[in-house]
Structure formats: structure tokens, C-alpha cells
Amino acid sequence: MTEDKRRRYSAPVVDGIGKSASRAMLRAVGFTDEDFRKPQVGIASTWSNLTPCNMHINRLAEESAAGADEAGGKALIFNTITVSDGIANGTEGMKYSLMSREVIADSIETTAGCEGFDGLVAIGGCDKNMPGCIMGLARLNRPSVFVYGGTILPGENHTDIISVFEAVGAHARGDLDLIEVKQIEETAIPGPGSCGGMYTANTMASAIEAMGMSLPGSSAQNAVSGSKAEDCRAAGAAVLNLLDKDIKPSDVMTREAFENAITVVIALGGSTNAVLHLLAMASTVGVELSLDDFVEIGRRVPVLADLRPSGHYMMSELVAIGGIQPLMKMLLERGLLHGDCLTVTGRTLAENLQEVAPYPQDQNIIHAFDNPIKADSHLRILFGNLAPTGAVAKITGKEGTHFTGRARVFHSEEEAQERILDGTVVAGDVLVIRYEGPKGGPGMREMLSPTSAIMGKGLGSDVALITDGRFSGGSHGFVVGHITPEAAEGGPIALVEDGDTITIDAVSNRIELDVPDSELAQRLSAWQAPQPRFTRGVLAKYARTVSSASLGAVTDLP
């Protein structure tokens, strides 16, 4: 490929007498005459010191920039935002979390589109900035590599952020005193990196690697490690190889690549948020993907990983035995992955996995196919008169597969949380938390605080929770989210009354309200849509433009 084709976006910005002013600006930030003849590589950094997930990413961005420069490019680092779910959970601030995914995608598209970068590296470390990065790269469709910031190490006594959330519930139950809760709080988060179980961050990192948009091994590295620094440096160099070969995100993010991502997420026992994000990422790159695809793939793929929150081990322990590459090779050999998918190495998935060694024989984290954690998917896509266009549950089987109980209705997460902690919620209840969907919240908050309180109170097997909001990857128990249509749009969840009988069946994949159709019609005729919570600002714009959760909750549908 000629040099001009490698510079198809930067050349119009810096070449010729008419661009003298542009060059003058760039000389001030370090460009030399030679640099203007190089392809420009934008390094999208999600660094901030407001969360451990991203506090180290400035150093990783510098490594990627060095890798791009050494390979013959000219790197420029720019920042996008990030927010912290772990800090904002249970507050009004959490309404900004899912919405931040769109802002991140918008900002990467905006910066790269304006500045004329020829290729990009995006580095993410939290569960919304990762899909946001991928969506931004997909919109631009320029040679790009995604880098995961890496997982955190375990806290004292094998604790993590979920240990802290559940300690609050255990305190309300009387099992922990304030000093014991404070001890967990002080030691559970030992330093940089994303939350340590197979929560949403590690789930999305694994999905992106399985899709081929990260270099092999990127999803399973500790944040504080030499291997992570090497991964970043290699990613910068890889963009130059992609420029040479003219390989773009649309060449990698194919329908088959998304099927690979779903397969790996299921095998790992990953987060329900993967459904929302993979739908959004597919929509952005123009790949048809629906809830039905999760059902179909889920029939043939087992859960093999004994990882938190439902299992025992943390991501750092999976890293120690080889990460997800040996698992992917197992799935490929079983015929469950598409090995001919192109990846950002310039090679196929099968070629990347060819030399990967199997897991050690004495490991207990990844089960064999003849001894799965669950024989089919834990991600259950439910339909029924409560969710005509779908809902998403994470049912590993440890919670059971059926639940029938009486509705206890709440119009906000905070109200539900108070009633769980004060003992109002009792065994046999189905908590209904509504008006928390993408439009109604707005923002589709995670219900980590109430689900953790339920577990901490010892009600994990006795109470179910359903919502038009969503769940943290750290949530577990008998929980169903993403109920669509959402309450704010007059979906059936808006019509549930205290005492109604609700049945959740994770075998037949049904969620039903035991109320006659005639009664539901009568309730709907009397229902009034709530007034918008926000009329100006970013949340108001989000509520006006966001699509249904069953379509990925994107804001740029045509």
C-alpha cells in the first residue's frame, strides 16, 4: 500500500501550502517535518483518577503511543470521559452511567473525525467505556485496536467490590458490625484495575477479544503487570500493520465475530450487560443481532467458568492459568467458534489460537465439557405478558429455575433498597422496580445495591427481583432485568399491582403476570405516563433519543 493510502485522513489536514496553519498548530505539540509524512494514530484514553478502573490508563496510553511511533506512525493522545458505576450505584448519579457509553462513542468519533487520525487505539477499563470505545471505532471505521486496562488484584481475604456491597446487607441482617464492614471497605480495593470477578468489565473485555478487536490475551491481564504494558505497546504497532493491510473494524466485527463473542460470554458466565452492549455494538457496525440470537447460541453453549459473582474465583486467578485463550481453543475445537474470523492481528482467530497451550491439569476454574457449571446458557431471554418484547435474566441454576411469588411494587431503586434493609421485604416476594428503564429513569440504572442487600440479608433464594432497569455484572440471585417495553412507555410492568402473582420460568423462558387480559386492559386505560424527570441537559436528550433495551439502548438509530 502506498504511503498516501495510509494517510487518507491525515493528509488533507496537513499536506500542502494551504495547510500551513494546521502544521503550525501541530508543531507546537511536537511535530517535526518528518512527522507530517507519517500516518497519524489517535490514542483514545479513558484515564481519570476518579476510579481504580482507569487510574493507571494514562501510563498505558503512553505505551501505546510509543508502540505506534516505533512502528512508523505519529501518535497523539486524547481523552474521553469515564464514570464509576461502583461509586454511583444506588444514587441519582447512576442515571448517567449507561448514557456515558453514548457520550464516549460520540467523543471518540468527534475527535478523530475532526483531527483526521488515520488509525486509532482505544483503551478502556470500565464496563461502559469499553463498549463506548468500540462503538466510536465502529462509527469511524478506520484501522483500530482496543486495549483493556486490565483486572484488579483481589483484596484482603479474597474480597472485591461486591464483598463491600454485600457487607452492607449483612450488617442490616446483624451478621457484621460496623467495624467489620469498615475493615472490608478499607481492604477490598487494593489498587488499579477493573472489578475482579466476571462482572461487566471483564465480561466485555473478553467479548471484545473474542470478537477479534483486541490483541490475543488483552482481556486477561492484571492492570499492574508488565504484560499489560507490553500489550499496549504492541497495540500501537498493530495499528500500523492494519493500515498497511487496510483492515478496518467492519472487516473484523462481522456477524460471525459477534456469535464468537456471545459464545465466550456464555462459557465464562458473563454479565447480562453483555446483551445490551453487544446489541448496541452490532447496531453501530451494521450487523443484524437480536435477543433471539442469544437464545439460539445459548442452547448449545455451556457455562464452564467457576467465576464470581455466582462462582468462586476471580479474573486474576484465571489470568494465572492462561486467561481466556485456552478456553477459546477448547470452544474452537468443539466447533463452537468461527475460526475463520479476521482479527486485529491480521490473522484469523484459528491462526491466533494455533499455538495456545491447554490449561494446567490441576486447575479448577474452567470445567470440562462433560462437567459444566451449567449445560446451557445462564443468560436467559424471557418473554411473556410481562415482557412482550423481551427481558434478560442471569440464572446459573444455583438460584433454582422457577420462581412464583407475590408482587411488591416500587417506583424507584431507593424505595426498594430501604424496604429490603428495614425488613419489609420477606420471603416469597417478587420485587418490581419500575420507571428505571432507558427513558423512564432515565438512564437504566443498575440494581446492584438492592440485589446485594438481598444477598446480604440472606434472602437470595427466597426473593426475586424484576425491573426495567438493569443489573451490575456483580449482581446474582433470581433477578430479571431489561423488561421491555419499559414502564415509562406503558409496558405491562407499569400495570403490576401489589399482591399480583408473578411467575418466572427459566426453563421455558417465560415471565408471566397472573392477571386476566381484560383486567390489564382496564389498568392500561387508567394508566398515565409520568412527566419527564429531566427537561434540559444530557439526560433529557438521552431520554428523547434512546431506543428500547431490546435494541441495545442506542441513541443514533436511523
Task: List, by residue number, the catalytic residues.
Answer: 472
Query: Half-sphere exposure (CA, 13 Å, Cβ side) for 336?
Result: 24
197, three cell numbers: 470477578
Radius of gyration, alpha carbons of the chain: 23
| DSSP β-bridge partners for residue 446 | 470
Q: Pick from 84, 283, 70, 53: which is nearest to 148 by CA?
A: 53
Please tell me the distance from the alpha carbon of residue 133 to that of residue 206, in angstroms, as a whole number.
15
Phi, psi of 482 (to 5 degrees): 60, 30
> Burial, 387: exposed, middle or buried (Cβ in 10 Å; 0-12, 13-18, 19+)?
buried
- Amino acid letter at 251? D
CB 289 within 8 A of CB 258: yes
Please name the helix (run of DSSP H) or strand (run of DSSP E) that holds residue 209, with its range, or none: helix 200-211
Q: What is the DSSP string of 1-64?
A: --HHHHTTTTHHHH-SGGGHHHHHHHHHTT--TTGGGSPEEEEEE---SSSTTTTTHHHHHHHH
Strands 501-505, 402-410: pairing kind: antiparallel
